[in-house]
Amino acid sequence: MTDARQAILNAVRQALGRSASVEPAPRDYAAQPPPRPSWREHGPERFTRKLERVAGSCERLVELAAVPAAVLRYLEGLGDDRRLLVAPDPLLQGLEWPAALQRSTHPQDARRYPAAVITAALGIAETGTVVLPSGPHRPPSMQLLPDHLIVVLRTEDVVDYVEDVWQRIAAGTLPRTVTFMTGPSRTADIAQTLHVGAHGPRRLHVLLVG
Amino acid sequence: MKSTAHLFPEQARAALTDENLQAALRFAKGGFIDKRAAAVARYPDFETLRERGRRIKDHTLAHLDVYLERFAAAVEARGGHVHWAPDAAAARSILLDICRRAGARTVIKGKTMVGEEIGVNAALEEAGLEVVETDLGEYIIQLAKEPPSHIIAPAVHKTRAQICKLFAEHHGSPDTLREAPELVAEARRVLREKFLAADVGITGGNFLVAETGTVVLVTNEGNGDLCLTLPRVHVVLAGIEKLVPTLDDAATMVRLLVRSATGQDISTYTTFITGARRQDEADGPDEYHMVLLDNGRSRMLGDEFREMLRCIRCGSCLNHCPVYNAVGGHAYGWVYPGPMGSVLTPQIIGLDATKDLPNACTLNGRCQEICPVKIPLPDLLRRLRALQFERGLIRGPQCWALRLWGWLARRPALYHGLTALIARLSPRGAARRLPLDSGWTQSRDFPLPQRTTFQRAWSRQAKEERRHD
Amino acid sequence: MNANAARPRIGLFVTCLVDLLRPGVGFAAVKLLESAGCIVEVPGGQTCCGQPAYNSGDLSAARALAKQTIQAMESYDYVVLPSGSCAGTLRDYPRLLAVEPVWRQRAQELAERTFELTSFLVDVLGWDAVDAEFPATVTYHDSCAGLRQLGIKQQPRRLLAKVAGLDLRELRETEDCCGFGGTFCVKYPELSTRLADDKIADIEQTGARAVLGGDLGCLLHIAGRLHRRGSPVKAYHVAEVLAGMADQGIGEDKP
C-alpha cells in the first residue's frame, strides 16, 4: 500500500518535473470572492423562495414553542399516523409535545416511522438549503429514511452564501458528514422528467422560527 | 468494462436506425441544453465563474502531489483508511479486499464513473458478492445488463416503455405501460430493502478537499447519502484529479457542476464527508475507506493532455455534441462517451483501440464553448489526430487522397493548371456518383465545377482588362 | 494625397472549394469589397489554407501550406476570405507554427489582418451599403467555425437586412452543426447525413425557398443532400446574394 502511494506520488512529481514536494504558490484567484447571485429581500425570504422553487415547503413561526403544534398540524394533514421521530436534540427535546404524538428518538425507528423532525444548524439563502451536520443530535438516518422530513431552522441561522457555512462550522470541527439538503429527493432518470421521492424524503417541510 | 470502441462506425450506424434509442435521445436533447442555458442566464457572471473554475483546477493540478498528501493525511487523521491504486486492477483488488475483510455479502453503490472505469461490479460479482446499483438510472441499466450511456444520466437511452418492461421482468410487477411516478415508487420500495440489508456502500466523490480531507458528493436522489449512512463500511472511489485546495474552492466547483449538468442552482443533496464515524455518533459506518485511482492520470498530467484533468464530469459536452445526440453513448464503446470520452478513452485504454473516437467529431466547437472548466476539447481531439498520424494509425484511401491533395496544393502552378482542366472537363450540375468516392455520394449529390476555376477566370479577366486599357 | 492611399489593399484568399466548385462566390466577394472601396488582388501563389491536413493530424503538410499562404498573402493590408472556417485556420497559424519563432511571428502578423468577408465588411469597414435584390424567403445557416471561433453571427444578418425583397426567417436551432465537418463527412457518411437531415428539416420548417451560409463546405453538404432528396430549396453563399449574383443554386445546372 505504501509502495503504491509512493509510486503514484512519484509519477505525479515526475509529471510536474520535480523530485520533491514544493509548497504551493498562493491561490491568486482567491483574492476576490467568486461572482455570486445577489438579492434585495431578507435572507429568510430569499431562503423560502428558493426552497419553494425546488418543491420544498416552508412555514414561518414566531417562536420555538410553536413547533410541536405546527408538527401536529402537518401530520394531521397527512392522515391518521401519529408516529414521529424527534431528533435527540436538546432544543427539540425541551419542547412540550402534544400527547397525541407517538414519539421516538431512536435512529432504528427511522426505517418504520413516516415522519421525522430535526433541527438545521444553518440555512443558506443563496440556494434555499438546510445545513445538516451529523452528530449525536442529528443522526443522518433520521433525515434520509422517513417519507416526511420536518426541519426546524432559526432565522438568525440563515447565512447568505455557501461559503459562509464554513465561517460558522470551522474546518477543524467538521463532523463526519455535513449535508446540504435543498428540497425533497428527486430523480430525472425515467425519460428525463423530474419526479420527487426517489430515495430520500418525499417532502421537505421547513419550520422557519423567528 | 470491455471496450468496443474499435467498432464505433458499426455501432454508430446501428444506433442511427434504433428507433427506441432515437426516440429517447430526441426526448432528452432539448431538455439538458435548455435547462443549462436558463441556469447560466440567471447567474450574474457565469463566464467569470468558469474562469475561476479553470484556475482552481489548473492551480491544483500544478501542485497535485502536495494536495494529494495533505488530503490523505487529513483523511487518516480523522480515522479514514487511504488506499492508492495505480491502475484499475489494483483498485479492484483493494475493493475486493475491503469487502472480504468485512465479511460482506451485499454491496450497494452510488453512481461512480470511476467504478465503471475499473469494472468494479464484475469483479465483486465474480467473487460471489451481490452488487446493487442504487442511482435509479444505474439501477435500470444494471437490470438491463448494459453500461451507462451518459455520465450523469446513465439510462438516458431507455424509453419509459422499456423501463416498464424491465421492472415487470425483475420485480414481477404488471407488464403494462405505467406512469413514471409509479415506477419511481416501485424502485424506491425495492431498493430500500437493499439499502437496509447491505454490508458495504461504495460511492464516488465529485471533489476532494485537500485542506480538510473532505469528500464532496453531489446527488439528487439521496441514494449516495444512504450508501454512506446505512452499511457497516463506506468506500469512496475517486480519481486523483478530483482534488481542490479548500472548501471555498469546492463551493465554486459545485456551482459550476450543477448548472452545467442539470441546470440546478444546487443539487438536492450536497454532502461533505470528513473522515470516519465519531465516537458520539449513533449511526454511520464502522469503517471508512478512500481509494485514490491513478490509471493514466499522472501520465496525462505530464503530457499535452493535462487540461483534460480539469474535467468535472458534468456531461454538458455530451449534451451539446451533435454526434452524441445522434448516436447516444453506447456507440462510443467504453465508459466515457461524447467529446470528453473521445479525449479520455484513448488516454486510458490506448490510441490503437480507439482510432475512430478522435475523428468522430465535426470540430464544431460547441463543447468547448460550454465546458465549465474551459477544456479546449476540439484542440485536444486535433492533438490526438496528430498523434494517430505520427504513429501511422490513419490508413486507407481517404488518407492517400488527403496526402495527394496536400502534395498538389504545395505546387500552385501545377495545382491551378490541373484544377482548371478538371473544371473544364467536368459535367455540370451535381453528380450522383463520383469516381473513387467512398463517402459523399452514398447519400448526397456532389455539386460539380462550373466550367472554370475562379483563378483561371480571374486571370482571363485581368488579361482582358489589360487589353482594353 | 493619392486617392488610393486610403483604400485598403485586400489579398483575397478565395479558398480551394470556391476556386474549384463555385467561382461565382469569388467574384461576388470581389464585387462587395470593391463596392466598399477596397482594391482587391488575388495572388496566384495561394491554393488551400491547409485545413484538411491540420484537422487530419498531418501537421507537416499543414505547416507547409501555412507557410505558402503566409508568403502569398502577407504583403496586403488585409487578407479576406469568403469562409469562416478557412479564416479560422489562418488565425490558427501562429499556434500551428509555434515551434518556429520566425514563422510564428509572421503568422501572428498575418492572423491579425485576416478576416472573414462579412465580418470584414461590417466590423472593419463599417460598410453595409448593399445594393442587391433577392425577393424570397430565406434562412441562414451559421457555420460553426465562423460562429464560435470568429464570432460571426450578426454581420451577415446586418448585410442581408439591406437586400431588397429578402425575408429572413431564422432556424429553430441556429447553433446546431450541419454535419459537414470537413473529412468527417466522408469518414462517417451516415452520421453526417443524419445531421444534414436534421438541419434540412429545420430549414424546411421555416418555409424558406433558399438557405444561405458563409462557408462553402457546409453549403455543398447541405445542397448535396437537398438535391438528393429532391427538395426545391436552393443553397447560396451569402456573398452571392449580397452581390446580386445569386442565380443558379449550388449544384443546379439550370437557373
Asked if C27's CB is within 8 angstroms of B454's CB, the reply is yes
Residue to test with chain B: of C30, C174, C191, most B Cβ within 10 A: C191
* The domain boundary residue, chosen from C123, C155, C188: C123
Count structural domains, chain C: 2
Report the pLDDT averaged over residues A16-35.
93
Query: For residue C172, what are the domain limits?
Result: 130-242
The answer to whether residues C156 and C47 belong to one domain is: no
Q: What is the pLDDT of residues C87-108, one digit of tens each?
A: 999 999 999 999 999 999 999 9
Look at residue B19 and tell me whether its pLDDT is greater than 90. yes
User: Which pLDDT belongs to residue B313?
Assistant: 98
Beta bridge partners of A206: A58, A151
Mean pLDDT, range A137-156, rounded to an integer? 97
User: B266 and A1: CB-CB below 8 Å?
Assistant: no
The DSSP result for chain C, as a single string, is --GGGGSPEEEE---HHHHHH-HHHHHHHHHHHHHTT-EEE--TT----SHHHHHTT-HHHHHHHHHHHHHHHTTSSEEEES-HHHHHHHHHHHHHTTTSHHHHHHHHHHHHTEEEHHHIIIIIS-------B--SEEEEE--HIIIIIS--SHHHHHHHTTSBT-EE---SSTTS--S-TTTHHHHSHHHHHHHHHHHHHHHHHTT-SEEEES-HHHHHHHHHHHHHTT---EEEEHHHHHTT---SPTT-S--
Q: Looking at CA atoms only, how far is residue C119 from chain B in angstroms?
A: 19
pLDDT digits 0-9 by tens, B118-176: 999 999 999 999 999 999 999 999 999 999 999 999 999 999 999 999 999 999 999 99
Instruction: Identify the CATH assignment for B5-299 out of 2.60.120.620, 3.40.50.150, 3.40.50.10420, 3.40.50.720.
Output: 3.40.50.10420
Domain boundaries, chain A: 41-209
Interface membership of C20 toward B (CB under 8 Å): yes
pLDDT of residue B278: 96
Contact C65 B9 (CB under 8 A): no
- Average pLDDT for residues B387-416, to the nearest whole number? 91
Q: Is B408 exposed, middle or buried (0-12, 13-18, 19+ CB in 10 A)?
A: middle
From A187's Cα to the closest Cα of chain B, the distance in A is: 6
CATH number of the domain bearing residue C151: 3.40.50.11810
Average pLDDT over residues A122-135: 98
Binned at pLDDT 50, 70 and 90, residue B400 comes out as confident
* B-contacting chains (≥3 CB pairs under 8 Å): A, C
- Of the pLDDT bands very low, low, confident and very high (cuts 50, 70, 90), residue B402 is confident
pLDDT averaged over chain C? 96
Cβ contact B366–C175 (<8 Å): yes
| Cβ under 8 Å to B: A residues 84-143 | 88, 107, 111, 126-127, 129, 134-136, 139-141
Residues ≥6 apart with Cβ < 8 Å to A111? A145, B196
pLDDT the model gives residue C255: 55
CA distances from B204 to A85, B172, B228, B238 (A): 30, 31, 11, 6
**ipTM exceeds 0.90:** yes
The answer to whether residues C44 and C14 touch, using CB atoms and an 8 Å cutoff, is: no
Q: Which of B389-393, C5-9, C58-62, C181-185 has the lowest mean pLDDT?
A: C5-9
Question: C114 and C139: one domain?
Answer: no
Q: What is the Cα–Cα distance from B339 to B322, expressed in whole angstroms?
A: 10
Write out pLDDT tens, residues A53-78: 999 999 999 999 999 999 999 999 99
Q: Given an 8 Å threshold on Cβ–Cβ distance, is B268 in contact with A183?
A: yes
Chain B, window 51-70: residues with a beta carbon less than 8 angstroms from a chain A beta carbon: 52, 55-56, 59, 62-69
Contact C179 B439 (CB under 8 A): no
Is C88 in the same domain as C178? Answer: no
CATH of the domain at C69: 3.40.50
Q: Are residues C147 and C81 located together in one domain of the fold?
A: no
Averaged confidence pLDDT in chain B: 96
Residue B78 has pLDDT above 60, yes or no: yes
Q: Does residue C173 sit in the same domain as residue C202?
A: yes
CA distances (Å), origin C254, targets B431, C107, C221, C248: 14, 42, 19, 6
CB spacing of B153 vs A5 below 8 angstroms:
no
- Please check whether residue A107 is in contact with residue B283, taking contact to mean a CB–CB distance below 8 angstroms: yes
Domain layout of chain B by residue ranges:
5-299, 397-468
For residue A1, the model assigns a pLDDT of: 52
Q: Are C117 and C146 members of one domain?
A: no
Contact (CB, 8 A) for B277 and B298? no
Structure-block grid coordinates of residue C54: 491540420
Superfamily for domain range A41-209? NagB/RpiA/CoA transferase-like (3.40.50.10420)
A168 touching chain B per CB within 8 A:
no
Q: Which of C73, C94, C123 is the last residue of a domain?
A: C123
Q: Are residues C151 and C114 in the same domain?
A: no
Per-residue confidence band for C5, with pLDDT thresholds at 50, 70 and 90: low
C253 in a domain, yes or no?
no
Q: Which residues contact B361 (CB under 8 A, 6 or more apart)?
A: B321, B323, B339, B342, B378, B381, C181, C184
CA distance A64 to A69: 10
DSSP class of B450: B
Four-residue CA torsion sign, B213, B219, B224, B228: positive
Out of A25-34, B291-300, B375-384, pick the least confident: A25-34
- The residues in B 186-225 lying below 8 A from A, measured between CB atoms, are 187-188, 191-192, 195-196, 211-212, 214, 220-223, 225
Any CB–CB contact under 8 A between A200 and chain B? yes
Q: How far apart are the first and last CA of chain B?
A: 75
For residue C71, being part of any structural domain is answered with: yes
In a domain, C164, yes or no: yes
- The C-alpha angle with vertex C47 and arms to C41 and C49, in degrees rounded to 5, equals 100
Residue B30 is predicted with a pLDDT of 79
pLDDT at residue B83 is higher than 70 = yes
Q: Which of B322, B408, B440 is the closest to C186 by Cβ? A: B440
Q: Which residues of chain B neighbour A47 with C-beta distances below 8 Å?
A: none
Separation CA B307–CA B60 (nearest Å): 12
User: Using CB atoms, which residue from B416, B430, B444 is nearest to C221?
Assistant: B444
pLDDT average, residue stretch B290-305 = 98
pLDDT score recorded for residue B437: 74
At residue C253 the predicted structure's pLDDT band, cuts being 50, 70 and 90, is: confident
Cβ–Cβ pairs < 8 A, chains B and C: 207
pLDDT band for C1, please (50, 70, 90 cuts): very low
Dihedral over Cα of C124, C127, C133, C139: its sign? positive
